[in-house]
Amino acid sequence: MAEIRLDNIAHSYVTKPKSAQDYALKPMQLTWQDGGAYALLGPSGCGKTTLLNIISGLIKPSQGRLLFNGLDLTEASPEHRNIAQVFQFPVIYDTMSVFDNLAFPLRNRGVKATEVRKRVEEVAELLELSKDLNLRARGLSADVKQKISLGRGLVRSDVAAILFDEPLTVIDPHLKWLLRSKLKQIHQQYKLTLIYVTHDQIEALTFADQVVVMFEGEVVQTGTPQELFETPAHTFVGYFIGSPGMNLLPCELHQDGLYLGGQELALADEVFEKLRRQVGGGGWLELGIRPEFLNYSPQPVMNALRAHTEHIEDLGNFKMLHCHLENKPNLRLKVKVSEDRPANLGAAWLSFPKSWTKFYLDKQRIALEGL
């Protein structure tokens, strides 16, 4: 197992990159601790797989250093990095039995037969493959083949890290949940360094202790699932994490207050002064608040903004209100309320709790903690 550190790593597929737009990965500093479970989360094309392939040695970065336990392995070949990698689609030998597929990485390294059998049987039991060990892989379903592929990555206990590149794509939804649970169990049992690439926030947030969110070749935030949900550091994180994502609205800071859709939003004096300092006295910001944290009332409330509810979704255990600010049909918000709360179409009043209302300048969160 290893601590993995990316020191000013960047990569471009262009021979002579001239601008930031030429880079698939923009310069980044990142450290993954020995024994941690991490997820790389982001939309297709944001650089997740490129970063994973740099770690495994399949791609040499355009700049920067890759260090395993402080040792510079930037130039090292994949076989010298002691990495196991599980790909999006099964990589197995169809003509071999399940047992021989799982045993192959160990036999390749000269592990004794008794230890091979012991380790294969342990991993097979974890992945519920014990009854299939004597079957040839060729006739098995895609689900089972991918479990074998996962097992080939997990069977070596001496690896520096195991890299997963969207490994559950071909797995049905129920089995996905079971396998994520198994991977969590394996991590807790063996304390392996695991790095899991996905575009699925549910996979990332349920698998990882720390999630690295990527957008347009950059790491925009690293944190626990709770930190990403409650305190997004970047507007993309607010939008991408959560179902639905964070409400993001333009607001204008004047000398006398902050205005959202022409209505003044009540702010504590110290918050108002901090925002003024950040934007140089006045200008445009973005306000972010999650649907769960907005306070809704069908009756007038002091310091609430006037709004209009145009649609109500009853989703069983909660209601999702689709609103817009009064006379501003383009300034839309979603509000999540409990099933037993009264909610009506038409006039509404929305309150923005201080602790859950975030402000962003150039997509970056303005820190207001302690105010």
Question: Alpha-carbon distance 249 to 263, whole Å?
Answer: 13
Helix (H) / strand (E) containing 4: strand 4-11
**Alpha-carbon distance 130 to 315, whole Å?**
41
Residue found by looking up tokens 């409650």 in the block: 230
Strand order in the sheet with 283-289: 263-265, 258-260, 247-253, 283-289, 358-361, 364-365
pLDDT digits (tens, 9 = 90+) for 249-306: 999 999 899 999 999 999 999 999 999 998 887 899 999 999 999 999 999 999 999 9
Rounded to two decimals, what is the model's pTM?
Answer: 0.90
> Do the beta carbons of residue 86 and residue 164 sit within 8 Å?
yes
pLDDT digits (tens, 9 = 90+) for 312-370: 999 989 999 999 999 999 999 999 999 989 899 999 999 999 999 999 999 999 999 87
- Nearest Cα to 52, choosing from 171, 166, 204? 166
Q: Own/partner pairs for 329-335, CB < 8 Å, 24+ apart?
A: 331/249, 331/250, 331/260, 331/261, 332/247, 333/247, 333/249, 333/291, 333/294, 333/307, 334/244, 334/247, 334/291, 335/291, 335/294, 335/296
pLDDT tens for 212-242 read 999 999 999 999 999 999 999 999 999 999 9
| Terminal-residue alpha carbon distance, the chain | 42
Q: How far apart are CA 13 and CA 10, in angstroms?
A: 11
pLDDT (tens digit per residue) in 84-103: 888 888 889 999 999 999 99
Q: Is the dihedral of CA 233, 235, 238, 241 positive or negative?
A: negative
The span from the CA of 287 to the CA of 358, in Å, is 6
Q: Kindly write down the DSSP assignment for every residue of 43-103, as one continuous string.
A: -TTSSHHHHHHHHHTSS--SEEEEEETTEE-TT--GGGTTEEEE-SS----TTSBHHHHHH
